[in-house]
A and B are shown apart, each in its own frame.
Chain A
């Protein structure tokens, strides 16, 4: 309640002041232009009658300025608002040549072509406000160049009074009359205009083909209006180049076609407002009586993005999972997909993976996230449960696999080692037996050799059984077993024990293997020189930690050894964590309930 109230009664800001100023200036400019046009008899330029000229002029100008202000309030980071406001004033300025006042007439001649430059920028950059390609920039830059140079030359050399219309006021900036230069500029300007408009249509077409559905949805009205305006502009310029007596009907067409652009921009803004209204529907839908329904469907409808994917936060593993507990990958930042995290009480609940086009409608996404929070939290709990189940099944399968692999290893060790040694001993005995009756002296060394072989076989067998299960663990407990493990370690191991008496056998075994694996890794992979091993049982939790000073960079997902350990620890409701920043050693930490 509190924050919302504070938000509503926020103090008057600097930004509000100048936005108000722009709005007032826009209103005044509109009124002034309307007055000029009606005084000129509803004509734009001499002789051509434009039905509804005043309402259309006001609608276009005010639409541009109004959309610009709306944009500025909702997306101040997107500088499209500045382009829209500029376009609105340039539009009003382009009407000034209709004035009979020489000052306004001359000013209007200067301002008039600028609407082409900002209009082109607007159509090409909508809705991001950024030009995307090199060709876009070249097009806009050459338009600005043409507009500047063209209007300057016109102002310096044109004598409209004698050249075009006898009723026109004088060009106040005219230095000297030069009809040839003015006509040349006139041709270049219109020829270039046609080339630019055709290229613009091509760019829009290419962009349309590559756009996703949501992107098309977001830009369609402006793209259509843009193509219409380009076509009308081409026709009007072409008619003038073909020396049709002006003003031609195509000028009239271009005038109305240009009016379609701000209307389209407004349409997009209204469409977004309506989409935010759909959020109310979403709240009803998600709170509805169907608890098993997938929130993705409703969210996808509310956002207008059929490709929407939802990932639910799996807190235990700090990653996102889908509805069935499968892994969800977040999109790469440079692709066509974006992700928005939904939070409740500062905790992530879910992530929406949506089309990048929705970036331009952050308000809608925010409202949808806010509305869907509770439903997503419920779904998250269910998804987390399923993810745990998936994880459980996978770990069970891995345990079975690990058991089989272990059996295979033991079988191989027995076959390649002990069994062969025993066979060879049997052979030696056979040999000795064969020699004994005839030549006991030759049999003697063979018997000695056999005894040595038997000792070796026994030692191997002892190592093997020790590897199958550490007998010291069952006989003397975890403290003694860790002590022996550390004293046998290939690198220096410092052991600190805070253990009292015996713990449950499965916990002792798992803890033993955590330390054993960590010591092996530290010696084999981490290039460590020293390891610190600590085991502490307090508050019903056994914590085992092994920290080395090696190269680090060991991953949690990598290596079947760590995976197997995590399974072993997980099976006892414990947690295994690996911290291994490159260059800063590896710390393996396992926690088990041991009460």
Chain B
């Protein structure tokens, strides 16, 4: 399975690539920001793009926007968004564009090679992945917003 990785921190980008190769994936390219990622996806046409949510230039939700753009232009590419924080709102926003081939995972999960591999596999096969921490935050929400 072909994957690409986008993360502005070189140490994580390379580490992730090494892990993915170890788990038997073909790493088709690395990107340092959203713009590079979109070019890379267009060229390499991977099965899955693994995207850090916080990237230059504003370090807020560039990864999220890039994920949406990929979904719009290349619906066949699976997307796994990595985040250092639990933001249920981001996850909901991401999955609202369609749950097929979508995933949202905390960064620290990648230390478990099996879990990383199975998450990438699942997203690549058109399934969806949601981090347990996000799920518990969604379920445990004390109030739900209602629009009146």
Contact = CB atoms under 8 A, between A and B. Distances in A.
Interface of A: 412, 415-416, 419-424, 426-431, 433-435
A430 B113 contact: yes
A423 B108 contact: yes
Interface in B61-98: 84
Contacts of A430: 19, 110-113, 116
A434 B19 CA distance: 9
A449 to B, nearest CB: 10
B68 to A, nearest CB: 23
B2 interface: no
B11 A421 contact: yes
Contacts of B9: 416, 420
23 contacts: A412-B59, A415-B84, A420-B12, A421-B11, A423-B12, A423-B107, A423-B108, A424-B11, A424-B15, A426-B110, A426-B111, A427-B19, A427-B111, A428-B15, A429-B111, A430-B19, A431-B18, A431-B19, A431-B113, A433-B113, A434-B22, A434-B23, A434-B113
A424 B15 CA distance: 6
A419 B113 contact: no
Given A423-B12, A424-B15, 20 more contacts: A419-B84, A420-B9, A420-B11, A420-B12, A423-B84, A423-B107, A423-B110, A424-B12, A426-B108, A426-B111, A427-B15, A427-B16, A427-B111, A428-B15, A430-B19, A430-B111, A431-B22, A433-B113, A434-B113, A434-B114
Contacts of A429: 111
Contacts of A421: 11
* Residue picked from A419, A420, A423, A426, most chain B C-beta under 10 Å: A423
Contacts of B110: 423, 426-427, 430
Given A423-B84, A430-B113, A435 B108 contact: no
B113 to A, nearest CB: 4
Interface of B: 9, 11-12, 15-16, 18-19, 22-23, 54, 59, 84, 107-108, 110-114, 116
Contacts of A415: 54, 84
A431 B111 CA distance: 7
Report, nearest first, the 9 A-B pairs whose CB atoms are least far apart. A426-B111, A430-B111, A427-B15, A434-B113, A424-B15, A430-B113, A424-B11, A420-B9, A423-B107
With most chain A CB atoms within 10 A of its CB, the pick from B9, B110, B114 is B9
B8 to A, nearest CB: 9
A412 B18 CA distance: 26
A412 B84 CA distance: 12
Nearest to A453: B11
A170 B111 CA distance: 127
A429 B111 CA distance: 7
A415 B108 CA distance: 13
A454 to B, nearest CB: 13
Contacts of B113: 430-431, 433-434
Nearest to B117: A434
Contacts of B23: 434
A429 B18 CA distance: 12
A289 B134 CA distance: 71
Nearest to B9: A420
A435 B22 contact: yes
A412 B60 CA distance: 11
A443 to B, nearest CB: 11
B19 to A, nearest CB: 6
A435 to B, nearest CB: 7
Contacts of A416: 9
B121 to A, nearest CB: 15
Nearest to A419: B84
A416 to B, nearest CB: 7
A83 to B, nearest CB: 71
A433 B15 CA distance: 14
B14 to A, nearest CB: 9
Contacts of B18: 427, 431
A229 to B, nearest CB: 74
B90 to A, nearest CB: 15
A426 B114 CA distance: 13
B142 to A, nearest CB: 25
Contacts of B54: 415
Nearest to A416: B9
B137 to A, nearest CB: 19
Nearest to A446: B18
Nearest to B114: A434
A301 B53 CA distance: 67
Contacts of A433: 113
Contacts of B12: 420, 423-424, 427
A412 B54 CA distance: 11
Nearest to A426: B111
A433 B113 CA distance: 8
Nearest to B115: A430
B65 to A, nearest CB: 19
B148 to A, nearest CB: 33
Contacts of B16: 427
A422 to B, nearest CB: 8
Best-buried of B15, B16, B19, B23 by chain A (most CB within 10 Å)? B15
Nearest to B18: A431
Contacts of A431: 18-19, 22, 113
A161 to B, nearest CB: 101
A435 B19 CA distance: 11
A329 to B, nearest CB: 38
Contacts of B112: 430
A190 to B, nearest CB: 81
Contacts of B111: 423, 426-427, 429-430
A545 B41 CA distance: 59
Contacts of A419: 84
A426 B9 CA distance: 15
Contacts of B59: 412
A557 B78 CA distance: 54
Nearest to A423: B107
Nearest to A435: B22
Contacts of B116: 430
Contacts of B19: 427, 430-431
B74 to A, nearest CB: 27
A127 B84 CA distance: 78
A434 B114 CA distance: 8
Contacts of B15: 423-424, 427-428
Nearest to B16: A427
A430 B84 CA distance: 17
B6 to A, nearest CB: 15
A571 to B, nearest CB: 32
A428 B16 CA distance: 9
A433 B114 CA distance: 10
